[in-house]
A = this chain, B = another copy of it.
């Protein structure tokens, strides 16, 4: 697909420039034509369709670098509790039909696209017994809508209760529903069936984290990912409880352990990274691992503030994620970028270290691409890179009066400001509307398949809360009603 965006504002080293951007059909990969940035300069000839860029800002697409799409079915539903209890309630009410997964993946993609994202990393919760169908449903949704998808099936080989430190207790845990070997075999099958980068679908190997995975599972994932140069993904030290647990489990920090078994690499992205110490940070820098910052989820679950300014100073690559929609409870990437940027101003009194809006944009785009090992193809307005682009309407009321466009975008609260989105040169949002699916229909389906609730009772929470409070040093009295 050839097209030329005329008279569009782009950021340049000193301020902004008004330019034309030519996009031309690149080497067609498989059946899917791709477009490449051919030239960026004022007064270029129009190749293909002309797109009016006047009073608009063009940026590389952002990456929603960590989410769990099917959590959308429970957004707004779980009360304010920490991760370990939240997770127990989440799994008590998890959706069980692949069709639900399809719909929530569409919903996740719509919100990501309309907040500047062109790629999504879906750490996808698998429906027990319907694992392949779950992945197939997500693949179908993302291909239908046209967002670039990085599907990271969430795997583990230990039961939920194993994710909470023992403390003095000597607890037994149920055997997990699927063996390590079966899980690895499943993943081999998923990779074989669904990993088709040329069609916009990538599979990542993604054990949920040290809290629920054996070394054997991590090692199997390393092997599978190395075989085809796939990326790896995982949660890492999201909560204080997980830090405690790592000490119990390994006698060292989780980061040291993951380094030792070889999980960290330039192809590894790690969600959260809230509870790392300075030695851990040095290891992330040394292994060129990527931190995915999920600020809203970290606040909502009371996990803490990830030391993002320290990561940046140590040269660790950082990108942004929304995290799943029950711990956020949205998939608005611009919201995550804003809060994930300004939150850190309270952690360092020297404002020369604070994240600037331009840095935020680079973290969300190039940082996201780097974490997926695709910095040479995506993440910046660079000749030769793929046309994953977002056009913002600077006449939108939420971006007025006119000042610094990127300042407005990152620090403000842009509403309906995305005019167009292209992924691989295909325009999947135009005039602020998704063109590839019927959003009204999606809305009707989501409405019809749900109901308003107030409080609901999670049985698992009642079972584990007393132990959680004990081991975390919280007063015994009053459990959650």
With a cutoff of 8 Å between Cβ atoms, the chain B residues found around residue A412 in the complex are 75-76, 325, 328-330
Q: Are A408 and B76 in contact (CB under 8 A)?
A: yes
Q: In the docked arrangement, what's the CA distance between A154 and B299, Å?
A: 33
Q: In the docked arrangement, what's the CA distance between A348 and B299, Å?
A: 11
Q: Does A405 belong to the interface (CB within 8 Å)?
A: yes
> Chain A interface mostly helix, strand, loop or mixed?
loop
Q: Could you say which of B81, B402, B474 contacts A452, with CB atoms under 8 Å apart?
A: B402
With a cutoff of 8 Å between Cβ atoms, the chain B residues found around residue A16 in the complex are 452, 454
Q: Are A351 and B80 in contact (CB under 8 A)?
A: yes
Q: Encode contact with B along A1-43: 1 for CB under 8 Å, 0 otherwise.
A: 0000000010000111000000000000000000000000000
Interface residues of A in 392-439 (CB under 8 A from B): 394-395, 397-409, 411-413, 415-416, 439
One complex includes copies of this chain to the number of 2
Q: Does A221 belong to the interface (CB within 8 Å)?
A: no
Q: Does A79 belong to the interface (CB within 8 Å)?
A: yes
Question: Taking A299-B343, A300-B342, A412-B76 as contacts, is the C-beta distance between A349 and B404 under 8 angstroms?
Answer: no
Q: Are A413 and B446 in contact (CB under 8 A)?
A: no
Question: How distant is A50 from chain B, measured CB to nearest CB, in Å?
Answer: 23
Q: Are B351 and A302 in contact (CB under 8 A)?
A: yes
Q: Are A475 and B304 in contact (CB under 8 A)?
A: no
Residue of B nearest to A405 (CB): B452
With a cutoff of 8 Å between Cβ atoms, the chain B residues found around residue A77 in the complex are 403-404, 407
Q: Are B346 and A302 in contact (CB under 8 A)?
A: yes
Residue of B nearest to A334 (CB): B413
Q: Does A303 belong to the interface (CB within 8 Å)?
A: yes
With a cutoff of 8 Å between Cβ atoms, the chain B residues found around residue A472 in the complex are 349
Q: In the docked arrangement, what's the CA distance between A224 and B223, Å?
A: 76
A75-B408, A76-B412, A328-B412 known, 16 other contacts, Cβ within 8 Å = A9-B452, A75-B412, A76-B407, A76-B408, A80-B351, A110-B397, A299-B345, A302-B351, A339-B339, A351-B480, A395-B447, A401-B450, A402-B450, A402-B451, A404-B452, A404-B453
